[in-house]
Amino acid sequence: MKNVLQWNPPEGLTGVEVIYTVQYFIYGEKKWLGKPECKNISRTYCDLSPETSDYEHQYYAKVMAIWKTNCSKWAETGRFYPYLETQIGPPAVALTIDETSMSIVLTAPEKWKRNPEERSISMQQIYPTLKYNVSVYNTKTNRTWLQCVTNHSLVLPWLEPDTLYCIRVQALIPGPPRLSPPSEKQCVTTLKDQTSAMK
Amino acid sequence: RCSPSMDTNPVKESFQGIKGAIQTKDTLKNVTILSNLHSIKPLDMCCVTRELLEFYVERVFKYREKLSLQISRAVSSISNSFLALQRTVQPCKEHNLCPCSEEATDATRNINNNYEELEVQSAVIKSLGELDVFIAWIDKNYHQETSTA
Between B24, B31, B139, which is nearest A28 by CB?
B31
Q: Where are the beta strands (DSSP E) in chain A?
A: 4-6, 19-26, 33-34, 45-47, 59-67, 70-71, 75-76, 92-97, 102-107, 131-138, 143-149, 153-156, 164-173, 178-179, 186-189
Structure confidence at residue B146 as a pLDDT band (50, 70, 90): very low
- Over range B108-113, report the average pLDDT: 96
- Over range B57-82, report the average pLDDT: 94
Calculate how close chain B gets to A1, using CA atoms only, in Å. Answer: 16
Between B35, B136, B144, which is nearest A28 by CB?
B35
* Contact state of B8 with A128 under an 8 Å Cβ cutoff: no
pLDDT digits (tens, 9 = 90+) for A79-120: 999 999 989 999 999 999 988 899 999 999 999 988 888 889
Residues of A in contact with B17 (CB under 8 A): none
Say whether residue B118 is in contact with chain A using an 8 A CB cutoff.
no
Calculate how close chain A gets to B20, using CA atoms only, in Å. Answer: 7
* Contact state of A128 with B143 under an 8 Å Cβ cutoff: yes
Structure confidence at residue B56 as a pLDDT band (50, 70, 90): very high
Q: What is the pLDDT of residue B149?
A: 36
Rg (CA), chain A: 24
Chain B CA closest to residue A76: B24
Contacts of B1 (CB under 8 A, 6+ apart): B42, B43, B45, B46, B97, B145
Beta carbons within 10 angstroms of residue A112's beta carbon: 19
Q: What is the SS3 string spanning B69-111?
A: HHHHHHHHHHHHHHHHHHHHHHHHHHCCCCCCCHHHHHHHHHH
Calculate how close chain B gets to A64, using CA atoms only, in Å. Answer: 19
Calculate how close chain A gets to B74, using CA atoms only, in Å. Answer: 16
pLDDT digits (tens, 9 = 90+) for A29-73: 999 999 999 999 999 999 999 999 999 899 999 999 999 999 999
- Over range A151-173, report the average pLDDT: 93
How far apart CA B31 and CA B53 sit, in angstroms, is 21
A140 DSSP assignment: T
* Contact state of B29 with A25 under an 8 Å Cβ cutoff: yes
Name which of B119, B96, B13, B114 is nearest B50 in CA terms: B96
Between A60, A83, A176, which is nearest B16 by CB?
A176
